[in-house]
Amino acid sequence: MVVSEKYKYVFIELYFTGSTAIHEELCECYDGHPVQKKHAKYHRFLQSATKEEKQYFAFSGIRNPMDMVVSQYVKLKSNHKGEFTDPSNWIKSGGTMKFYGTALKLYHDIHTNHLSFKDYFYKYYKLPYDNWSRLAHEDFDYVIRFENIQSDFAKVLEKLNIEQKRDLPTRNKTQGKKDFTTYYDTPEMRARAVYIFGPFMKKWNYDFPEEWNIKKTPFVSAFLFKVFSIPRYVYWRYITKR
């Protein structure tokens, strides 16, 4: 999380949305400074914020979940920057030991059992996808789409009356990753992707590739997404610290 008292903004960092690039740019060029954990949630900021800070311009990011899951897999597969064999690297990047432990289990499962992306996707994604953007993203002043990160970041600066100093540099890029749509390369994988990601994508106005010819999200998927919304909210809001 990054805050600027000068420009009165708070940036909430949702994982896998280009948050590292934005975090570093805000701190280097736009009078931002880190507060709390890197991926701390907005309600934790509000718990200790002053009356004025609670009025700061709040913004965060969002990303097509199909792309996000592929990036997660490729990072685990390639041991991105050594994060999954050296705990200190994960902690430095803003993680926690609990979250690192979970990531390490995924890393070892992928490498021990030689899981393809299809194997990984089917094994670990069984319910309709959601993430902790559910907590407050819909109430933020602006949400940067990863797919439009350059133009959306510029719009944030414009709204804050800040003159942009340079294009947003690329940071923490997932090496060896192909176009994410190519990982869903069979009719079976595509049907599964629609079931898993459909409700979230509809909520955030993402479209499946046109050639998939998807008309609507399966009823069961939409129903389960709604059913699990409450326990997921409770978990992210009150139980997990990350």
- For 29, the domain range is 2-239
Task: Give the per-residue pLDDT at 242.
Answer: 47
Q: What is the model's pTM?
A: 0.90
Task: Give the per-residue pLDDT at 100.
Answer: 61
Task: Give the per-residue pLDDT at 95.
Answer: 52
Task: Give the per-residue pLDDT at 196.
Answer: 98
Report the b/e string of 70-85 with b at 16+ CB within 10 A. Answer: bbbbbbbbeebeebbe
* Number of domains within the chain: 1
Residues of the chain with pLDDT below 50 are 97, 242
List, for residues 154-165, the tens digit of each pLDDT value.
999 999 999 999
Task: Give the per-residue pLDDT at 81.
Answer: 67
φ/ψ of residue 144, rounded to 5: -80, 125
Report the b/e string of 90-127 with b at 16+ CB within 10 A. Answer: beeebbbeebbeebbebbebbeeeebebeebbeeebee
CA-based torsion, 179, 182, 184, 187: positive or negative: positive
Task: Give the per-residue pLDDT at 87.
Answer: 63
- Of the candidates 149, 37, 41, which has an alpha carbon nearest to the alpha carbon of residue 93? 37
Mean pLDDT of the chain: 91
Task: Give the per-residue pLDDT at 97.
Answer: 47
